[in-house]
Amino acid sequence: MSAPQTLYEKIWNAHVVEQRDDGTCLIFIDRHLVHEVTSPQAFEGLRVAGRRVRRPDLTLAVPDHNLPTTARLDANGNNIPIADPESAQQLEALERNAPEFGIAYIDATDVKQGIVHVVGPEQGFSLPGTTIVCGDSHTACHGGLGALAFGIGTSEVEHVLATQTLQLSRSKSMEVRVEGELAPGVSAKDVVLHITGVLGASGGTGHVIEYTGSVIRALSIEGRLTISNMAIEHGARAGLVAPDDVTYAYLKGRPMAPKGADWDTAVAYWRSLATDAGATYDKVVTINAADIAPSVTWGTSPEDVLPITGVVPDPSTFADPSKQAAAKKSLEYMGLTPGTPMTDISVENIFIGSCTNSRIEDLRAAAALLKDRKKADNVKWAIVVPGSGLVKQMAEAEGLDRIFIDAGFEWREPGCSACLGMNPDKVPAGERCASTSNRNFVGRQGPGARTHLVSPAMAAAAAVTGKLTDVRTLMD
């Protein structure tokens, strides 16, 4: 009998094409998602070397980062040109490269278009037990379905296009076990913010993390995708959640998921992937659900996490001198004074969207809070950017768009938007944003923008009061 294995080891071992003496493995890649920002130089590299795409059938291209989230078609159904010439050029490059290399392409006006990490699971392109890569660090997201998914650079994008493999060394394994039951008002986003606060921004470096425990098991796929999405924010190469009945119910019937007899064979295979009893991880971290409150970031690293009931920390109280210096710089950038209660901080902007929190469940959570309420007067800009055209369609069928619009939000077209400010959606310098995205880096949402990361319900609560707010005070 073979030694007990973790989920990560099983997926890794199933994808080894070759192993060299130094331990480096040639790993087969089952799924490759391509977007417009990190692919032009890779396609150019192929062209220069006269190389083709080895497996276009395992590759899916969709634009998301640059696309404006305003209307894409005019009243006559014609495409509205993109005003920014560089963005337009990058999108045209993908539009040209995909057919040239035989890759399926989802057009900006297709209802299936959206953020790559929303589209992959939604289409059933992302499947348990597969290896998934994309030139985007939040590819870890797909681990919520039990796929080994990670972000790669453009040279690796070119390598995968040309060979459908990557030369990789095995990562270490970590289990993050979250046990107990989440309190009302605490969502998957709060769980992953809390984990990032506990591990630190580099706590997972060199590791693939498997999230386990009763809290994870009880989450929907949307919630699991949110958690695995931010694995990279605590430095992990990838995040994983073992596939289970929740996963299979989510995937069944999706356009690119297995059908008929294949479905049954696939599910039987996926069931065999769970970590064996007795398998060990290189590191184990246990978190008690009772310790997780609705959470918010105060600084410029995702590790700068506090419960919403907390106060802005005093950098001199940090044990690590390098952290003291970093915190001081962060507070200067954020314009915050130590000791200020987090709930006293006013926000002028609200962003609900991103690959972390733009799925239907996220929009439902925000809308439930906003129903029959309006945004505060000091909130100048509040937008909802659904993760895909299909999410948008579903939300509209449920009337969520009306709730957002009546509350004073703008209801936008799908894309990455104000998460990284590549398209026109930016937070003005010196202003604050309660954002459901994943990074609060300096300048991330626009030069000088100050980001506070929160859950969708917390973003909605901040919109209503105009301040960072404990969502529990607005719940019935």
Region 352-411 residues binding another protein, contact defined as CB under 8 A: none
Q: How far is the CB of 255 from another protein (least distance, A)?
A: 5
Smaller CB separation from another protein, 18 or 291: 18
Q: Residue 131 corresponds to which tokens in the numbers above?
A: 């290896």
According to DSSP, residue 173 is labeled E
- Is the Cβ of residue 125 or residue 404 nearer to another protein in the bound state? 125
Tokens of 8: 């990560």
Distance CA 37, CA 430 (A): 27
> Which residues are 207's β-sheet partners?
172
Nearer of residues 161 and 308 to another protein, judged by Cβ: 161
- Our CB check for another protein shows the closer of 22 and 476 to be 22
- Find the binding residues for another protein in span 256-315 (CB under 8 A): 256-259, 262-263, 265-266, 269, 301, 303
Interface residue with another protein, options 4, 71, 86, 340 (CB under 8 A): 86
Residues 179-208 that bind another protein (CB under 8 A): 201-202, 205-206
Min dist. Cβ of residue 282 to another protein (A): 15
Neighbours of 474 (CB within 10 A): 17
Q: Are strands 410-411 and 381-384 parallel, antiparallel or unpaired?
A: parallel
**Candidates 128-136, 213-221, 353-361, 391-399; binding stretch for another protein (CB under 8 A):** 128-136
Q: Are 468 and 340 a contacting pair, CB within 8 Å?
A: no
Specify the residue, 154 or 346, whose C-beta has the smaller distance to another protein: 154
The CA-based angle 212-216-222, given to 5 degrees, is: 130
Number of residues this chain uses to bind another protein (CB under 8 A): 85
Q: Is 168 helix (H, G, I), strand (E, B) or coil?
A: strand
Nearer to another protein, 90 or 113 (CB): 90
Binding map of another protein across residues 23-62, x = CB under 8 A, - = no contact: -x-x-x-x------xx-xx--x----x-x--xx-xx-x--
Q: Is 19 in the site for another protein (CB under 8 A)?
A: no
Q: Check: CB of residue 338 under 8 Å from CB of residue 421.
A: no
User: Is 136 a binder of another protein (CB under 8 A)?
Assistant: yes
User: Who contacts 75 (Cβ-Cβ below 8 Å, separation ≥6)?
Assistant: none
* Closest to 119 (Cα-Cα) out of 101, 103, 86, 141: 141
Q: How far apart are CA 295 and CA 470, in angstroms?
A: 9
- 17 φψ region: left (φ > 0), alpha (ψ -120 to 50), beta (else): alpha
- Beta carbon of residue 414, minimum distance to another protein (angstroms, whole number): 18
User: In the 8-state DSSP scheme, what is residue 109?
Assistant: T
Q: Could you tell me which stretch among 5-13, 252-260, 339-347, 353-361 binds another protein (CB under 8 A)?
A: 252-260
The answer to the question of residue 435 lying near another protein (CB under 8 A) is no
CB-count burial class (<10 Å; 0-12, 13-18, 19+) for 49: exposed
- Site for another protein contains 337 (CB under 8 A): no
Give the residue, chosen from 66, 173, 229, 455, that forms a contact with another protein under the rule CB under 8 A. Answer: 66
**Least Cβ distance, residue 254 to another protein (angstroms):** 10
Smallest gap from residue 359 Cβ to another protein (A): 21
CA atoms within 13 A on the CB side of 41: 8
- Residue 240 structure tokens: 């994983």
Rounded to a whole number of angstroms, the minimum distance from the CB of residue 310 to another protein is: 21
User: Alpha-carbon distance 80 to 14, whole Å?
Assistant: 46
- Which span sits near another protein by CB under 8 A: 153-161, 217-225, 395-403, 404-412? 153-161
What token pair was written down for 161? 């296009």
Nearer to another protein, 44 or 398 (CB): 44
Determine the interface stretch with another protein among 136-144, 341-349, 355-363, 377-385 (rule: CB under 8 A).
136-144
Structure tokens at 444: 């991330």
